[in-house]
Amino acid sequence: MAKIKITQVKSLIGRTQKQKDTVKSLGLRKINHSVEVEGSPQVLGMIRKVSHLIRIEE
């Protein structure tokens, strides 16, 4: 699996609890925080759900 770099670019204020939990489970804590994760099907599904809050780099 390929590594994917994810960066949170928008705030979680006013978002649903499900979206907040998804961002937290990806390992992101605050705006401009970045993590590298494996590109598994589970992670790709989570990325799709919160794609409007994050920036993705291959």
- Token reading at 7: 């960066």
pTM of the model: 0.91
- Residue 38's SS3 state is strand
* pLDDT greater than 90 at residue 54: yes
d(CA 35, CA 25): 11
* Structural domains of the chain sorted by starting position, each given as residue range(s) with its CATH number in brackets: 3-57 (3.30.1390.20)
pLDDT for the residue numbered 58: 86
* pLDDT greater than 80 at residue 1: no
